[in-house]
Structure 1
Amino acid sequence: MKIFSVCLVLIVVVFSTAVEAKLYKWVDDKGVTHYGEVIPPEYTNKSNVLLNDKGRLIKRNEEINNTERRTNEEDDAKKRIDNEAKLELSRKDKALLNTFSNEKEIDLARDRNLHQVESLISSIQSLQRAARESLKNYQQEAEGIKRAGRKHPVSLQVDITEGENKLAKLQLDLVKAQEKAASVKASYEADKMRFRELNGSTKK
């Protein structure tokens, strides 16, 4: 029994010694090679090797260079974006099919939305005509005063400036409304094309 216990202790000691004898080998940022039982944290993700007590290679860890890491991250991001885009397209397709049963309904929805925008455009154009006429009157009045050799009243110059600013703003509003109309038409045309694809139809 004593002999068995002594043998068991020797086995444990030998095994423990073998485990403790394993060494890591790594190279620091200055190119100096180091050996040790523990790798400093800043080098754990860089190239290093694990050696046994006889100096034989047990395991090699290769550093992933910045370019490869960046490429992998970009690939993962692209896959994530692609998956999100597919999910969004699927959601839109379901909504399109649930909202419309034929192309005529799409046209009707387009016309309803266009009517609102076109009414806005018409309103802006009416305001522009009135603003131009008002500004023209102010300018004619100023021209008459100038011909008479009199000084312009400050209030008249203020009216002219405000009239010019109003026309400039109305023009911006008109451009935005026209862009909105074009966007509505393009959006519903795209919906119609997608509706045809989903229904396997090629009719126009």
Structure 2
Amino acid sequence: MSRLLLSLLLCFVAGSAFAKMYRWVDEKGQVQYSDKPPSGVQKVSEVDRNGRVRTGPDGQIMTDDERAKVDAEKRKQLELERRDKALLQTYNSLEEFDARRDLQLDAVKAGITSNEMRRKTVAERLQKQQAQADGYQKRKRAVPDDLNSEIELTRKEIADIDRNIAKQKEEMDLVQQRTEADKKRWSELKAKQNQPR
């Protein structure tokens, strides 16, 4: 008898754990939850046990992946709105975009110049190391391991500097592209603001 009672109790608990829950906003603007959808309310969402909305705009139950996609889209939209607001609050003319771009480009150019000077110094060091190695080879002697290691490290340093310079040049292109995209978006937003309502 107790097994039957325990089985019935487990069925009841399992059934209530999976019972549907609904969320809506009442006429006073208060969020309400219930196990039955209210009548006369247009926008009712099905929610999970944690209160997260399970149904999409078309009323279909969303999977976790679909809900994550909807949330990501909302975040993307909010970020776009934030960027638009920042553009309008930061800039008063297209010339200000150009001035900011020029400052950023000058900073990157200074970095490139610094790296080019460093590369020249390192290349001179490599040349001296290579001359030493050539001297050993002309005398038909083995190049010492520590000299070979130094040459290898110097070559690696030059390769790293070259990569940094390439990245800095890419950054200059990105600054140009971002500035043009921001100017275009700012112009669109200004045009919308100036449209008669």
Report what 2:57 is aligned to. Answer: none
Q: Of residues 76, 79, 92 in structure 2, which corresponds to 1:85?
A: 76
Paired residue for 1:99?
90
Instruction: Note if 1:145 corresponds to 2:151.
Output: no
- Give the equivalent residue in structure 1 for 2:113: 122
| Runs of 5+ unmatched residues, structure 2 | 1-6, 20-53, 55-59, 193-197
Aligned to 1:53: none
Give the alignment partner of residue 13 of structure 2, picking from 36, 41, 64: 41
Match of 1:161 in 2: 152
Report the CA distance shift for 1:95/1:42 in structure 2 as closer, same or farther (over 3 A): same
1:121 Cα deviation after fit: 1.1
Pairwise CA RMSD:
3.0
CA distance in 2, matches of 1:155, 1:40: 78
In structure 2, C-alpha distance between the alignment counterparts of 1:116 and 1:170, rounded to whole Å: 17
> Which of 98, 111, 119 matches 2:102?
111
| 1:196 alignment counterpart | 187
Deviations 1:141-194 (A, max 9, x none): 211221111232444334312311211221222233223222222221211111
Which of the two has higher C-alpha Rg? 1
Tell me: CA distance 1:76–1:155, structure 2 relative to 1, closer, same or farther (3 Å): closer
Secondary structure of the equivalent of 1:120? Answer: helix
Can you give the 5+ residue segments of structure 1 that lack an aligned partner in the other structure? 1-34, 47-63
Give aligned pairs, total: 147
- In structure 2, C-alpha distance between the alignment counterparts of 1:76 and 1:159, rounded to whole Å: 56
- Counterpart AA for 1:40: F
Letter of the structure 2 residue corresponding to residue 42 of structure 1: A
In structure 2, do the counterparts of structure 1 residues 72 and 138 end up closer, same or farther at CA, with 3 Å as the change threshold?
closer
Scaled by the length of structure 2, the TM-score of the pair is 0.63
Find the counterpart in structure 1 of residue 34 from structure 2: none
With structure 1 as the length reference, what TM-score do the two structures score? 0.61
